[in-house]
Amino acid sequence: MSDVKKVVLAYSGGLDTSVILKWLQDSYQCEVVTFTADIGQGEELEPAREKAKKFGVKEIFIDDLREEFVRDFVFPMFRANTVYEGEYLLGTSIARPLIAKRLIEIANLTGADTISHGATGKGNDQVRFELGAYALKPDIKIIAPWREWDLLSREKLLAYAETHGIPVEMKHKAGGSPYSMDANLLHISYEGRALENPADEPEADMWRWSVSPEQAPDAAEYIDLEFRQGDIVAINGQAMSAATVLAELNRLGGKHGIGRQDLVENRYVGMKSRGCYETPGGTIMLRAHRAIESITLDREVAHLKDELMPRYASLIYNGYWWSPERAMLQTMIDASQAHVNGWVRVKLYKGNVIVVGRDSKTDSLFDATIATFEDDAGAYNQADAGGFIKLNALRLRIAAKLKNK
């Protein structure tokens, strides 16, 4: 007899988690609570409720977490200009700590002793979900079906679903299994099928959020973004909530073919993986945030942030959002944003985000009287540069003399 009594399942209503729901009931003879997070994936979530009801689930949670997701996870990450391995904007990674948090909250609320997720034993998400869960509830039990069952292909999952009467959308496309996709307000990702060969170009009809740059409008579009303490709070003078900001930037970026990525990344578990991503709003945010920081951050603060960013990015990618080291870095990052206030103007054109203006009435460190190429009326004594250069060259001159002996 299983010692698992009640399980909270992270449930999307898609193929994997629909199979997992039935499999948990049959394999563990336990009560299952389903939790479906609305983090802006753009899909109708009520069918997930109906599917759960069909299999006798009594406690069903469908939570709108869009505002919390952007406000408390996406925005803090973008304050650090976070990019993993020079390319990936961490759209999937940053959603996992929020889902783990809510899984634990629901477990506490319902008296569940176990949580379960649909992440595979090959991927990063199993690590992210479980590290988060253990950090928030050390004694929680976790069931990861992909590490236990023998349904180790999309075809086997589809066959299981058919046998047990589990309805699944997009069963087949061009004779094969569907892409493995993950979507939220920050991005949509694609893996599997033809993408498993990194030499093959993605199919043109795979992309969902953006037009191709070739098909984007021939006229550029200018937008003004207002920042307050490192976060965008208004677009073109219109104040917006965090989630609304990102949704609107996604719309604008997608319209202009912005934010498509095709990359091979290094997973935490050790393998390389090819994935494609659409992150239109995040691409705009990153470019604009660096622009406002360029005039409001002290040079050494900006450089220190850039040095620490890869470590911070790896912490998020590898699932350590709830770790003490990430919290420590976040405190420093957030402190650096106190004076990151002002506006940035960007031009969107055929896949490009071009910064064309930036200003801060209260916090700009750009002093035109010093930087000017015209007469600065003594604001900067150019003769001082000679001594500055000689002092900085001292060690180089000493080394050169020694070498020339």
Domain boundaries, the chain: 6-180, 182-359, 370-404
Give every strand in the sheet of 272-278, ordered side by side.
Answer: 180-183, 188-191, 272-278, 260-266
**Residue 169 has what pLDDT?**
66
Q: Are 96 and 115 in contact (CB under 8 A)?
A: no
DSSP lists the bridge partners of residue 8 as 33, 115
**Residue 43 has what pLDDT?**
84
Contacts of 252 (CB under 8 A, 6+ apart): 221, 223, 280, 281, 284, 348
Q: Which two tokens stand for residue 154?
A: 């999309």
| Rounded average pLDDT per 10-residue block, the chain, 405 residues | 89 90 95 97 89 95 98 98 98 98 98 96 96 98 96 87 80 52 95 91 94 98 98 98 98 98 96 97 98 98 98 98 98 98 98 98 96 93 96 97 93
Q: Which of 30, 40, 23, 41 is nearest to 8 (CA)?
A: 30
Name the maximum alpha-carbon separation found in the chain.
87
**Residue 173 has what pLDDT?**
41
Q: Show which residues are catalytic.
A: 16, 96, 125, 180
Chain CA centroid to CA 17, Å: 22
Q: What is the CATH number of domain 182-359?
A: 3.90.1260.10
DSSP 48-65: HHHHHHHTT---EEEEE-
Domain 6-180 has CATH 3.40.50.1000: no
Angle at which helices 15-28 and 46-54 cross, to 10°: 30
pTM for the full predicted model: 0.94
- Nearest 5°: CA angle at 219, between 213 and 221? 90
Q: Which of 180, 179, 158, 153 is nearest to 168 (CA)?
A: 158
* Amino acid letter, 217: P
